[in-house]
Structure 1
């Protein structure tokens, strides 16, 4: 029996649909978190090079950044549930290939990079397809609250992912961790089979043409100036902050001179913070404007980064506390930003709009990654934490000043 997904104010129906989908996604996100941390730690441990880590991050970002706008056109054409299933299955297939390689031997660094690139390409389809489906389920006035739930569930899954990943990695091998990712994807796809998506049908006045649809998506995106401005601010944030996702384990290893379990503790505490922040956002969703949450989040994240760049080698516990605070404020950026987009555009355009917005941020990320690797190897990882924090704080203050009197339109119509 399937659950109909359509705009409704019936609280029981849409919450039941979310429960069904998120149950499967918990397993997928958990095993993905295990794989991501295990690969990063494996590269950290075997190469001890920030350049190798940033190249891995760059390869993980580029396919999503470059293909995003084109994928958005396809997402608005295709069945979103089927797209999610195929994308997740593709990730599982290549995790299986890399897992078998690790099980029988040690693959080359180039092969690891190749698998990361393929997984990133599949993720470029899965993530925006899921985000574009959310407004078909939840009432419009609940989108920010749902974003808080999503952040909380994501954090719950990732809170034990690094610790579990490093435990399985240490006890067995990276190959076994990758094989568990296959199982997670299969469970997520199974749960999706119990849910029916009502794909919106775009009104096309002429024969659809790929590049015309791509152009229409861009024109629709730039109509809402506040979203464009915040997306550009988010791109600056990406340049400064995204390299830190790859450098957290390196900070633990090089600055604090600790091992894999300490690194996984930092990741787990960060995720616990995200879970707490997501819960708080879901409770306080309607108290302030989305841009207020976004500006607050950037200032707070930046402040914790600055503090992390100033602490000494014997202050690991302080770094753990700062990681928690950093995680707790992150949902107040991610959730309201996506809810703002979902609220401002028509559902039939969301695939293109979300993909374009995501691509703008991801295209900025390689700039930070290319800068971070050589600078960290030369000046140390704390330098990047400190100066990236300064940039993020200034970006948050810009949001507060720029949008003091912002009134975002509820929906943009053609």
Structure 2
């Protein structure tokens, strides 16, 4: 567990510094364009690699030294940041370059995510899987809390160049902790030369296709991601439509406290008896929070809605990962995680591609003062004016999350996956 915590600490620093860069670039984009579509396009380009390369990344992670995979991903992301820094410093930074950077970083992050998830199985006792997964999510929440506040403060004083430099320092810290860590190799990785890459990918498909409960989990997460991604990428322009960047930073940090406290709760209650039921219940709560966040142009109400939305996210992800880590052999986990990731994000590119134009051309004009949608009951509930179309999109997505969660829980293979599939890693974890 100590080795895991060493790696985790380095990742916390990197997550915070990278989050600062992402937030600062969002401010720069809004200053340059004042439109919602560029935000969606960045999210769109980030969503493409998980769908295309996840199976290959999973097979390679199962073959390679996972610590070196994480090191390589950090080094690659550092080079991307260095390139953006050089372009900005020379006055040549353009939107298309940010889209390309989002594409490259997303591809690198897939390798890091899959390696990180499988490392948990090697370094942590089985009964601590939930807690370790919650800590991984808590690192993300710390970044979500600290990054907007720090970036908003530094952007107006020291500028984007300084924030880029901090991001490079964060990658260096993460790399240093990985170099200090000793991660055991999985036996299958040492025998990888005996099978082709495609045979490895097919083995992952063959494993998951006969376990319909795991497919059900992937479909549930896919539905949730589809609904969330279609609207949350627009939350920043919605908020900036009626308030300042500083208020946006505070609101995002307040809502991220929900993610952090949810991570603390998930760490304390790290091994619920019914993990699938926990996932469903948390998904419903998240949907209700997203619905609330879109109702009115009130910083307090939006922050409260996102607090409720973010609180159960850690528990959803931690319990999903714990199910896979206990039901899937360790030498197959990279491939199975990658296939779940591919399925879970399959609809995100289309949703993101449509959401920007829908917001700019349909919902925002329709919910403007005197708009076609604002003149009826929708205007009475959500109000009229800048950002109200996006607010309506957020609420509709939240309602969809509630309905999707209830629908999937009615599928018996998903509902009973914990009982129908054996705990395949019990013996290995008794040795830790």
| TM-score normalized with structure 2 length | 0.87
Asked if the contact 1:38/1:166 (under 8 Å) is kept, the reply is: yes
Task: Tell me the residue number matched to 1:263.
Answer: 248
Distance in 2, matches of 1:133 and 1:273, equals 27
Per-residue CA shift, 1:79-121, capped at 9, x if unaligned?
1000100110110111011012112314121112112211111
Asked if the contact 1:135/1:347 (under 8 Å) is kept, the reply is: yes
Task: Tell me the residue number matched to 2:44.
Answer: 58
Cα deviation for residue 412 of structure 1 reads 4.8
Task: Tell me the residue number matched to 1:89.
Answer: 75
Structure 1 residue runs of 5 or longer lacking an equivalent are 1-13
Counterpart pick for 2:319 among 319, 336, 342: 336
Cα deviation for residue 300 of structure 1 reads 0.8
Cα deviation for residue 61 of structure 1 reads 1.4
Cα deviation for residue 65 of structure 1 reads 2.1
Correspondence 1:14-413 to 2 at 5 A: 14=1, 16-202=2-188, 207-254=194-241, 257-311=242-296, 313=297, 315-377=298-360, 378-379=362-363, 380-402=389-411, 403-406=414-417, 407-412=419-424
* 346 and 309 in structure 1: CA distance in 2 versus 1, 3 angstrom threshold: same
Distance in 1, matches of 2:143 and 2:195, equals 40
Per-residue CA shift, 1:276-306, capped at 9, x if unaligned?
0111111122333111121011111111122
Distance in 2, matches of 1:243 and 1:180, equals 31
Distance in 2, matches of 1:369 and 1:237, equals 14
Structure 2 residue runs of 5 or longer lacking an equivalent are 364-388, 426-432
Task: Tell me the residue number matched to 2:380.
Answer: none
Asked if the contact 1:243/1:369 (under 8 Å) is kept, the reply is: yes
DSSP-derived class of the 2:225 partner: helix
Deviates more, 1:400-409 or 1:160-169: 400-409
Asked if the contact 1:151/1:335 (under 8 Å) is kept, the reply is: yes
Asked if the contact 1:160/1:268 (under 8 Å) is kept, the reply is: yes
Per-residue CA shift, 1:172-199, capped at 9, x if unaligned?
3323222211110110010111111111
Cα deviation for residue 217 of structure 1 reads 1.2
Per-residue CA shift, 1:97-150, capped at 9, x if unaligned?
101211231412111211221111111211111111110011112211222222
* 282 and 101 in structure 1: CA distance in 2 versus 1, 3 angstrom threshold: same
Task: Tell me the residue number matched to 2:385.
Answer: none
Deviates more, 1:392-401 or 1:59-68: 392-401
| TM-score normalized with structure 1 length | 0.91
Alignment coverage as a number of residue pairs: 395
Deviates more, 1:98-107 or 1:65-74: 98-107
Asked if the contact 1:273/1:327 (under 8 Å) is kept, the reply is: yes
Distance in 1, matches of 2:263 and 2:304, equals 18
User: What is the RMSD of the two structures over their aligned residues, measured on CA atoms?
Assistant: 1.9
Asked if the contact 1:44/1:249 (under 8 Å) is kept, the reply is: no
Cα deviation for residue 64 of structure 1 reads 2.5
Deviates more, 1:188-197 or 1:375-384: 375-384
Distance in 2, matches of 1:405 and 1:73, equals 28
Cα deviation for residue 408 of structure 1 reads 4.6
